[in-house]
Amino acid sequence: MTGPQADGYGRGAAILSVGIGVTGLITYAYFSLASHTLSESDYGGITLLWSAVFITVSVLYRPVEQLLSRTIADRAAHGYKGRDHLRVAGIIQLTLGAAFAVAALLLRGPIEDDLFGGSQTLYWVLIVTVLAYAVSYFARGCLAGSRRFGLYGGLVLMEASSRVLFALAVAVGIASGQSVVALGMVAAPIVSLAVVPFALGRVAPAARTAEVEATARAGDETFMGEPAGEPEFTLSHGTGFAVAVLLIMLAEQTFLNAGPLLVKATEGDEGAALAGFTFNVLLIARAPLQLFQAVQTSILPHLTRLGVRGETDPFRRTVNVTLIAIAGFAAAVALVMLAAGPAVMDLVFGGDFEYDRFGLVLISLGMGLYLSAATLNQALLARGQARQACAAWLAAAGGFVVFLIVPEFDDRVLQVEVGYVAAALVLCGLLYALYRREASDGPAAA
């Protein structure tokens, strides 16, 4: 990896790591405060609301974020000046937001009564929060693609900071109740929109950069089958990529949230409290994803630019170094969970549940496999292999759901833990096989 490329990726990941790392700690504080101040049933409702919000926004809006991140980086490296990609991404995002609003209104009864136990507040928090995140994720894609990582980190930090203030208000007695804690989820994306004018002010440099000139001198004005000159970015092109990533995001959220939701649906009166406990266990896997967003956000545009320049060795080194770092991190977390996992979880979340040491270690290892799979996924997206990656995600997530439904485990939490690790292993293996195959065959069209 040469100097400017390496510095750009490393600096971007470092900046985002600070912002998103702090964000992860603040998010932990939000749930810790909520867990200590609310009843187990009310806290379970908060975790279900969180799961519903982030399943929805990740599935609906991250495809556009990824589309913008990859496309802006690709077009900037080629020196293209048009903005058709912004119009196409905006149309897709507006369509997805409108579809959600219509579906949520039509399904108000099942959502409000069956999922949220009749709470109108939680229902309306869900709708307003999801719609507000449409603009937030569009801005994230623009910031990532144009490598404005400081603003990206500021955006997510503002989200987490504004959210935790509502839980803190309940903890110190300024306010009380589940509704106040839930309103923090509405405030988060709305407050973060303060950075949107900066995000949309300059999406990509208008002039050709030294990187583009170097590519041109090398005679490589094509990438993934695109012709020289400035090709039209069509709605069908953007939609094809976005649909594949949407399905990947659906599978991703199945990994992270199917456990608590299925526990809630199958455990009767104790379902909400047990779902909250299961959610706490999976936070070992979920919380590092907050930090990993720094890598995930910066690595896609970085790998895309390396693909434009035909720099195969730096591409592979970037992926390999990231995988090695993930392995080391997962091993460290597993050792901590082995030594003091139950005590740490009791301290952070309280409650009457007993955390199993073996289960916590399992989730730590599964987290490492999952983060490795996410890294390989970004490499495949950068190479234009969204559809192939999508098939692997759907197969692994489908197997996870079947495992949670079909076998009869007396310990439902252990069932979630074992299923998560097994599914993450399958996913990592499938994506690695695709990555190795595409490395030998060469990139394909997006």
Name the strand (E) or helix (H) holding 3: helix 3-37
Angle at 131 between CA 125 and CA 135, to 5 degrees: 135
Model pLDDT for residues 64-85, shown as the tens digit of each residue? 999 998 988 888 877 777 778 8
Longest dimension (CA), the chain: 68
pLDDT value of position 7: 47
Which domain range does residue 323 map to? 3-441
Distances (CA, A) of 333 to 81, 285, 330, 360, 362: 45, 10, 5, 10, 11
Report DSSP letters for 344-407, one per residue. Answer: HHHHHH-SS----HHHHHHHHHHHHHHHHHHHHHHHHHHTT-HHHHHHHHHHHHHHHHHHHHSS
For 252, what's the count of Cα atoms within 13 Å in the CB-facing half-sphere? 25
Token pair of 288, please?
Answer: 């590092």
Q: How many CA atoms lie within 13 A of 143 on its CB side?
A: 26
Residue 340 backbone class (left: φ over 0; alpha: ψ -120 to 50; beta: rest): alpha
Distance (Å, whole) CA 14 – CA 7:
10
The CA distance from 8 to 15, in Å, is 11
Q: Within the chain, how many helices (H) and strands (E) appear?
A: 15, 0
Considering Cα of 85, then 86, then 91, then 96, what sign does the dihedral take? Answer: positive
For residue 270, the model assigns a pLDDT of 60
| 341 in a structural domain | yes
In a domain, 298, yes or no: yes
Instruction: Classify 434 as helix, strand or coil.
Output: helix
pLDDT of residue 235: 80
pLDDT of residue 220: 44
**Straight-line distance from the first to the last Cα atom of the chain, in angstroms, rounded to the nearest whole number:** 24
Gap between the Cα atoms of 354 and 339, Å rounded: 16
d(CA 435, CA 205): 31
* 281, part of any domain: yes
Q: Is residue 446 part of a domain?
A: no
Indicate whether 201 belongs to any domain. Answer: yes
**How high is the pLDDT of residue 272?**
66
DSSP state of 195: G
Fill in the amino acid letter for 347.
Answer: L
| pLDDT given at position 427 | 96
Residue 418 lies in a domain: yes
Residue 20: half-sphere exposure toward Cβ, Cα within 13 Å:
23
CA–CA dist 113, 111 (Å, integer) = 6
Which among 130, 146, 163 has a CA at the least distance from the CA of 33? Answer: 163
User: What pLDDT score does 206 carry?
Assistant: 39
Q: Is the pTM of this model over 0.75?
A: yes
Domain annotation covers residue 382: yes
The answer to whether position 386 is within a domain reads: yes
Residue 230: per-residue pLDDT: 64
User: 209-265 pLDDT, tens per residue?
Assistant: 444 444 444 444 443 444 445 666 678 778 888 899 999 988 988 887 787 777 776
**Number of domains forming the structure of the chain:** 1
Taking 50 as the pLDDT cut, the residues of the chain under it are: 1-7, 203-228, 444-446
3-state secondary structure 248-288: HHHHHHHHHHHHHHHHHHHCHHHHHHHHHHHHHHHHHHHHH
